Amino acid sequence: MRKYHSHLIFTFILLALSGSMSFAQEAKTINKVMEAAPARAEDSKDKFKEIEEREQLDLDLEESRKVQATITSKNVAIDEISRNQRSSNFYGQQSDAWNQQIQQQRQDANGWLNYYKSERYSNYSSTEKKITPAQQQELDNIVNEMGTAVPGTFEYHYVKFWNSNYSTSEFNHLEEAYKVAPNKVELYDDFIGYYETTFNESKKKEFCQKWYNSKDIPTAVMNYNYNVLMSVAPNGILITNGEYDTYPIWIWQQVKNIRKDITVLNADLLGVEHYRKQKLSKLGLKQNTSYTDRHRFFKELAAKNPNKPIYFGLTVPPQTLKPMKDNLYVTGLAFRYSSNRIDNIAMLKSNWERKFNKGYLNTANKGANSTVKKLNSNYLAPLLMLEKEYQKTGETTKAKEVKATAVQLAKESGKDKQVNKYLKK
C-alpha cells in the first residue's frame, strides 16, 4: 500500500449501467460507451486491458506535455506517487538521472532517496504496483548500497523499512527514521499500517491523530472518503487499495468516531500473512485461496461469505474486480457484492441525497493536484446513473443538478469529451 493511489480507470464502462443491473447485464451497451474512447479501443476484445493501456498512455501524454520545454534527464525531486502520479517513462528517466548523481556524490542521502523512489515507481503500472522478484532484487541492491553510503540517516532507515514490505523484523528502522525526523509526515501512514497489522489500536489511533493534526491530507480527499463510508451498509466490510482511499477512512473512524462499524481491509496490508489470517479469522470470513492471486482471492472471499456485506471501493484496480463483475453493484463510491440482483439505484439515491457531503464538489478540484482530480472522477459513473434515473422518474431539477456536477468533474479530470458524448445520446 506504500505511497500509491489508483483511481478507477474503467469509469466509462460503468456509464452504461442503469437500474439495478450489474456489469454483465449491461455488457451489450459497453461497446457504445467505448465509442467515446480513442478509435483503437473499438477493436479491443479485452476492454479492461484496453482501458488500462489507455490510462497509461494518458499519463505518458500528460507527462510529455509537462516536459516539452524541459530536459527530462535533469534531476527532479520525486513526489510521493499518491500525491502526483507520473508516467513510468518519467520515473525510468529519473532513476537513471539520480543514479548518475549519487555515483558522483555518494553521501547525498536525499539523492539516494529519490533514486530509490524513482526506481520503485518505474515498476508500477497505471493501476497496480506489483514488484517482480528481479525488480525486488534491484531495490534490495539500492538499499544495501545506501547502508554503506548513508548509514544512520533518515533516508536510509525510511527506505529500509519501506523496502521490507511491512516486515515486523524491520520495524526498528521505521522507529529510527522517526527519531531522526519525527515531523516527517510521510512516516505516519507507515506507522498506522504497521499498527494495523499488529492489532495495536491505541498506537494506530495515535498516528491517525498525528496525521490529522498535520493538515497534510487535502480536504477534498477527506470529504471523498467520508462519502465512501456513507456508501457502505452497517457493519460492512470494505476492500480498499491505496493510501488515499484507506488512511483517511481510518482517520474518520479513529479521530472523528465516524462509521466505526465498518471494517476496512487494505489490499496491500492483507499481503502480510499473519495479519491476513488473524483478521479474516476475527471477522469470521472463509477463504482458502492463496493471496498470490489477489483477483481470485477477493472473488472467492466475496462468494464464500454471502452473509457478510462486502464492498469494494471504486479505487480498487479493474483487474481485481473483473472476475466478479457479474455481481458488483454501484451504491455510491463503492461496489456492493451480491450474488442476487439488488436495487442498488435506491441505495445510490438514498446515499447521495441523505448521507453524502456534496458541497465541496463545487470547488474541491480548483487548484487541486492531479491525484485529487482523478480521485473525484470516480463520482462520474454514479452521477450519470443518477441523472438517468432522475430523468426517468421526472425529477428534472435533480437531474440537472447531478448532470452539472458530472460535467464539472469531467472537465476538471479531463473526461469531458467522453461524458458530453454520453449525455448527448
- pLDDT, residue 302, reads 95
Q: Please answer whether residues 178 and 187 qualify as being in contact, where contact means their C-beta atoms are separated by less than 8 angstroms.
A: yes
Q: Torsion over CA of 199, 333, 30 and 38, rounded to 10 degrees?
A: -90
- pLDDT, residue 249, reads 98
Give CB contacts under 8 A, 24+ apart, made by 138-147.
139/163, 142/112, 142/115, 142/116, 143/116, 145/112, 146/109, 146/112, 146/116
Report d(CA 198, CA 163) in Å as an integer: 18
The pTM assigned to this predicted structure is 0.83
- pLDDT, residue 352, reads 97
Q: Over its length of 425 residues, how does the chain's per-residue pLDDT go in tens digits?
A: 433 333 333 343 443 333 343 444 433 333 333 333 332 223 323 444 444 445 555 555 555 445 443 445 588 898 887 777 788 889 999 999 999 999 999 999 999 999 999 999 999 876 677 788 999 999 999 999 999 999 999 999 999 999 998 888 999 999 999 999 999 999 999 999 999 999 999 999 999 999 999 999 999 999 999 999 999 999 999 999 988 999 999 999 999 999 999 999 999 999 999 999 999 999 999 988 889 888 899 999 999 999 999 999 999 988 889 899 889 999 999 999 999 999 999 999 999 999 999 988 876 555 566 778 888 999 999 999 999 999 999 999 999 999 999 999 998 888 888 888 888 76
Report d(CA 15, CA 34) in Å as an integer: 10
- pLDDT, residue 253, reads 98
Rg (CA), the chain: 22
Q: Is 21 helix (H, G, I), strand (E, B) or coil?
A: coil
Report d(CA 288, CA 27) in Å as an integer: 31
- pLDDT, residue 75, reads 86
58-80: string of b/e by CB count within 10 Å (b at 16+)? bbbeebeeebeeeebeeebebeb
Q: How is residue 100 written as a grid cell?
A: 548518475
Q: Please answer whether residues 101 and 108 qualify as being in contact, where contact means their C-beta atoms are separated by less than 8 angstroms.
A: yes
Q: Please answer whether residues 300 and 280 qualify as being in contact, where contact means their C-beta atoms are separated by less than 8 angstroms.
A: no
DSSP per residue over 254-319, as a string? HHH---TTPEEEETTGGGSHHHHHHHHHHHT----S-TTSHHHHHHHHHHT-TTS-EEEETTS-HH
Strand order across the 263-266 sheet: 263-266, 237-240, 310-313, 334-337, 328-330
- pLDDT, residue 358, reads 92
- pLDDT, residue 365, reads 56
Q: How is residue 111 written as a grid cell?
A: 539523492
AA identity, residue 295: H
Report d(CA 218, CA 359) in Å as an integer: 15
AA identity, residue 166: Y
At residue 242, what are phi and psi to the nearest 5 degrees? -130, -165
